[in-house]
Amino acid sequence: MASEPGIETAAADLRRRLAGRLEEDGWLRSPTWRAAVEAVPRHVFLPRFYRESDTPGVTTWEPVAREAVGQEEWLRLVYTDETWTTQFDGRDADWRDPKPVSNAAPTSSSTMPSLVVRMLEDLDVHEGMNVLEVGTGTGYSTALMCHRLGSEAVMSIETDEGVARRAREALSRSGYTPHLVVADGRAGHLDGAPYDRLIATCGFRNIPLAWLDQVLPGGVILTTLRGWMRSLGLVKLIVTGDSASGWFSEDDPSFMIARQQDAPESLGMIPGPDDGTERKATYGPDILTSSGPAFMTQLAMPDARFFSMPVDGGPDSTFVLDSGTDSFAVLTPTDNGWQVRQGGPRRLWDAAESAVATWEEYGSPSTAAFGVTVSHEAQVVWLGNPNGPQWPLPS
Ligand SMILES: C[S@@+](CC[C@H](N)C(=O)[O-])C[C@H]1O[C@@H](n2cnc3c(N)ncnc32)[C@H](O)[C@@H]1O
């Protein structure tokens, strides 16, 4: 095994190459962020992680560590443009005897560098600004910001104590000393406020109001919004006094949902065969999964989830269940389309179909045609402009 100086030389070379690729692909746009990518040793933040196995069947993740796969392979993987998961189900692995993981949900990771730097570029920071980061994770993105703005200017919040401890160690080994807080980032951190910029690297169902109060007027809040069915995407809000407003990006990058906002375990009551009222459906269940319509159905049914299963030995029906209100919609195929049966206080499929119809009327736009306005009174996603068609974010 090579000596530590050997590692540093090889890692520096891999970093230069990674930075070159990120620049070629258009993610890295400024020399200052390129310098940060070339300087921050991602391998110090990723001594151990998991990679998804390509074996067919149940999704399985295999442990990767320098000791197990060899230094060269470990370093090569660290400096690829991949998200590497570091924790599942909020539990830390026993790395003395790591095992493959399946049937588990990732709860911490080092986000793929292209997404990290793209968000940092979008954040539009300048010398002398301070930043609040929500979701320290491994600390890699925190370190990039420390390199760019100075450690004093960076406050980072992580909800998981073990994750935060490892990030602190890696940051200090790399020579960075940002302010680190173990807490629920939805409350922001009043002690360091006001902030010029706020960046979140986990997804939220709505914009926490504390962020509005802690970011300066003219400041930026950059976060992903997401629901229990899918991500809504990345939104960049400009704060103006006691409200904030801004647009979604063209694509819909996805982050793991904030721990405190994960979907409840129970999907809710499965309706009986005679429950609810039936009608012919205009759209079938494919609107739940095809890109634009799925964005609309997530907006229209913020508390719902769905699954498909055969009923009475027949073809698959799709069950859409809202565990909050015990509302349901069941879609069953017919000879010439779909039949929907709905019940409970919310007509879920009516709301979903109306949202998709509006989207079609407006020419099936991409997510970049949508924006968000938040204030202490209301949080809405709008189409076209702040006075266009609106859908509330869950409170
Ligand atoms: C995708 S990872 C962060 C990636 C990180 N920025 C990096 O570069 O390594 C998301 C992190 O958000 C943390 N998290 C989840 N909910 C949170 C919350 N409410 N407040 C603060 N951190 C949270 C998770 O524990 C996880 O470590």
What local confidence, expressed as pLDDT, does residue 313 receive? 87
pLDDT digits (tens, 9 = 90+) for 306-362: 999 998 888 999 999 998 889 999 999 999 999 999 999 999 999 999 999 999 999
Distance from the CA of 135 to the center of ligand 1, in angstroms? 3
pTM for the model stands at 0.95
Decide if 325 is inside a domain: yes
With a cut of 90, say whether residue 381 has pLDDT above it. yes
Binned at pLDDT 50, 70 and 90, residue 5 comes out as: low
Decide if 110 is inside a domain: no
What local confidence, expressed as pLDDT, does residue 56 receive? 81
Decide if 349 is inside a domain: yes
What local confidence, expressed as pLDDT, does residue 2 receive? 42
How far apart are the C-alpha atoms of 230 and 236, rounded to whole Å?
A: 19
Closest ligand 1 atom to Cα of 45: 9
With a cut of 90, say whether residue 82 has pLDDT above it. yes
Boundaries of domain holding 284: 277-360
Decide if 290 is inside a domain: yes
Average pLDDT for the chain:
95
Decide if 121 is inside a domain: no
Closest ligand 1 atom to Cα of 167: 9
Q: How far is CA 206 from the centre of its chain?
A: 12
With a cut of 60, say whether residue 62 has pLDDT above it. yes
Decide if 331 is inside a domain: yes
Q: Are the C-beta atoms of residues 39 and 33 closer than 8 Å to each other? A: no
Testing ligand 1's pocket by substitution, the residue of 85, 92, 111, 136 carrying the most ligand atoms inside 8 A of its CB is: 136
H or E stretch at 370: strand 370-375
Distance from the CA of 136 to the center of ligand 1, in angstroms? 5
Closest ligand 1 atom to Cα of 138: 9
Distance from the CA of 348 to the center of ligand 1, in angstroms? 32
Decide if 28 is inside a domain: no
* Tokens (6 digits) for 53: 């196995």
Which residues sit with their C-beta closer than 6 Å to ligand 1? 107-111, 116, 134-135, 137-138, 140-141, 157-160, 163, 184-186, 201-202, 255-256, 258-260
How far apart are the C-alpha atoms of 207 and 244, rounded to whole Å?
A: 10
With a cut of 50, say whether residue 63 has pLDDT above it. yes
Instruction: Give the range among 67-71, 107-111, 243-247, 249-253 with minimum mean pLDDT.
Output: 249-253
Distance from the CA of 236 to the center of ligand 1, in angstroms? 18
Q: What percent of the chain has pLDDT over 70?
A: 99
Decide if 243 is inside a domain: no
Distance from the CA of 184 to the center of ligand 1, in angstroms? 10
* Number of structural domains the chain divides into: 1
Average pLDDT (154-177) is: 98
Q: What is the CATH number of the domain that holds 338?
A: 3.30.160
Strand partners, 52: 61
What local confidence, expressed as pLDDT, does residue 252 receive? 78
